[in-house]
Amino acid sequence: MKKNCIVTGGSSGIGLSIVKLFLDNHYRVFNLDITLSEFGEFRACDVTNEKQVTDIIKEISAEYVIDVFISNAGVHFSGTIEDTSADEFERVFNINVKGAYSAIKAVLPNMKSNNNGAIILMSSDQALIAKHNSFAYNLSKTALASMAKTTALDYAQFNIRANAVCPGTIETPLYHQAIDNYCQRSGADKDNIHAEEAALQPLGRLGQPEEVAELVLFLASDKAKFITGSLQVIDGGYTAQ
C-alpha cells in the first residue's frame, strides 16, 4: 500500500527534488504550491492563506492517511534589521513561519487519529548560526527549528515525529535569485560570487537539492523512527568551522 505525503512548495528547488524522490519511492505525493507542476498531485495553494491551506489538507485527510508532511515553502530576503521594512518582515514570516504553522495544525488531527506520522520542516543552517544581512530570514528559520522541537515533544505521545532539516548553501533557484539580487545591488560579477560561495564550504562546493531530498526521505522513513525533535544539518561542514 502506498504511503501518502504532503509537500508545500514542491514545484521548484529542494521541494521539487523531494517530490520526485518520494514519487520514485512509491509515495503518493500532494504538492501544495502557487506554481503549477507536473510532478505529484498538484493543489494550487498559497501557504499564507490559512483557510486555503486548512481546506486543502482537510480534503486530502478525508480520503487518505497522511503519513508524511514536509513544510518546504519558503522565501529568502537579504537585509539588516534597518534594511527590512515592516511589509518585508511580515511577508517573510507569513510564508516561512505562518505557512508551516497552518499546515502542521491542519495535518495533526489525521496523524493523531492514526497514531503515526512524520513531520519535516525545512529550516536552515541559520537556525544554528547567524549570517550577515539575513535578519528576517535567519529569524524565520530559527522559528521553524523551534517549531520542530516543540511539536516533537507535544505529539510524541501520538507516535508523531517532528524534525527540522537545516541545509547550508544549496544550489537552487532561490540561491541564484539571492546571488542575482546581490550582484544587481553591488555590481559584483556573478561567476566570482558563485566561486567564492563554493570556496566557503569545507567540501569546496555547494550542496545540491537532491542531496537534501535524500535526507528528508530518510527522516520520513521507519529507519528514522527513533529520531524526533532534532535539527539535521546538511551544509558541507560549514557550521562545524
Cα–Cα distance for residue pair 137/115, rounded to 1 Å: 34
So what's the pLDDT on residue 143?
Answer: 98
What does the pLDDT average to over 109-130?
98
The predicted pLDDT at position 145 comes to: 98
Cα–Cα distance for residue pair 33/123, rounded to 1 Å: 18
* pLDDT interval class at 1 (50, 70, 90): confident
Catalytic one among 137, 155, 175, 238?
137
pLDDT-derived band of residue 83, with 50, 70 and 90 as boundaries? very high
- The pLDDT tens digits for 182-230 are 899 899 999 999 999 999 999 999 999 999 999 999 999 999 999 999 9
Query: Which residues belong to CATH 3.40.50.720 in the chain?
Result: 3-170+208-234
- What is the CATH class of 3-170+208-234? alpha beta
pLDDT of 174 reads 83
d(C-alpha 72, C-alpha 196), whole Å = 27
pLDDT computed for residue 182 by the predictor: 87
Indicate if 155 belongs to the active site. Answer: no
What lies within 8 Å, CB to CB, of 141 at 6+ separation is 96, 123, 124, 126, 127, 166
What's the whole-number mean pLDDT along residues 38-62? Answer: 98
153-159 contacts: CB < 8 A, separation 24 or more? Answer: 153/229, 155/108, 155/111, 155/112, 155/117, 156/228, 158/111, 158/112, 158/115, 158/116, 158/117, 159/115, 159/116, 159/117
Residue carrying the nine cell digits 535526507: 215
What's the confidence (pLDDT) of residue 229? 98
In this model, does residue 172 exceed pLDDT 90? yes
Strands (E), 151-217: 160-167
pTM over 0.75: yes
- Per residue in 27-47, pLDDT (tens digit) is 999 999 999 999 999 999 999
Q: How far is CA 38 from the centre of its chain?
A: 20
